[in-house]
Structure 1
Amino acid sequence: MGHKVKIYEVRKTKKTDEAGGMPLIGDPFPKIKNVKTTQGIIKLPKEYKGKWFVLFSHPADFTPVCTTEFLEFQRHYIDFKLLNCELIGLSVDQVTSHLKWIEWIKENFNIRIEFPVIADNGEIASKLGLIHPAKGTNTVRAVIIVDPEGIIRAMIYYPQELGRNLSEIVRAVEGLRIADDEKVAIPADWPLNRRFGSNVIIPPPQSQEEIIERKQNVEAGEYACIDWWLCHKPWFKKYKTSEWKEL
């Protein structure tokens, strides 16, 4: 049989920090030294080597929607931990502002924010493309998902007036992990897809030989197909996060 093309394989570029422009999906996360956070100075992405991490930016401290988001990020923190994923926030604010806001959240909601928050002077946000020219120094609501190799796997942007859906961010991290581990793809609305449920999608064949092999696999009961190019198989969760408690 010929070489199998991995159509869902991440195209990892060789873009360097000197190449200019904001990073894109498939690019290495830029190497950044002396990152000041509420938990000390770190280096990115080195701090999270061997782990997934989600960097999320918010427009400003002490704002209503951002406060609701921090509460939800903390509530889902255990779900990210179970996925070998860390969280780190960012906004263009002083570290003292972050610390006071975190203190205020604890005093008013009895919730302790456990993940670090970057105190940026605008340099990191600009490098990552998180500041809109028309919005001054306020960072957009962005989510950047980075894999254990330091490769950007997903980027999601929200307007200032719309808070993020944490269930979708957890789903994105989990789906990317499964795609990597099982060499599959994740259907729409997974794991609650109306047609496929929590099943995952098998990449379509790329040759006549693979089509024949696919039909043999179906006959053997390894997975089900609507047609040879649209096949799926069960995936069984190895642990439970809050997203699966009702399943």
Structure 2
Amino acid sequence: MIGVIRVDVDNEGYLLVNHLGEKNRFVEVEPGVYYNLREERSNDYGGDFRTIVFGTDSMGRTMLMTDGPMSYSKAAWYETSGFTFLMLISSLLFIIGSLLYWGIKAVVGKIRGKNELEVRKGARWAKRVAVLLGVLTLTFLVSFLAGSKPDPVYGLPAAAYTSPSALSVWLDLIVSYGIVLVTLPVLAFSVVSWIKGYWKLAGRVHYTFFAMFGAVLSWIFYFWNVI
């Protein structure tokens, strides 16, 4: 998600490389080796962004190597920062928004003296595990925002190059694994709700989307090695 390089080709055959917010033009000097034509170059987190070399890794994916300490691999569409952030933000907004909606609905119902009658025990447990998933997701969001401010020199959050506290490590493990584990019964209840007819149609649709976004969040955790 940080340090993305975008490579394109202009009409004259030069490589256009967008790096650290700047566009650089590269010309091929040897097969697979390109030289930066920009006189004033940005540093690649500690090295001159003067030469780039293309190759392949052991998995056959295209690699871009620089004369700085960083190297890059070509991202598939589901690995791009745009797709990842879209799915992450959508999941967080929907899950936390649902948690707030259920909370406000419960408070308003209590003020008006109305109680939501759910005669089926399964429906009550479905709502409880969904609320637990919402609380865990809210905790993850607060923790993520608290540790995501980038360092002005390194351009990375402090958690990327400093040792976290034991409390932070345990909190991250409990929250991330907790979200994944709680998502499993939420997915199961989303199927059961249609079979047994929990709530009205809108409620079942809402719960199904809630479960789907929980699964998306769990996939993001797994794919990006959070768990």
More strand by share: 1
TM, length-normalised to structure 1? 0.26
The higher relative CO (CA closer than 8 Å, separation ≥ 6) is in: 1
Point out the structure with max Rg over C-alpha.
2
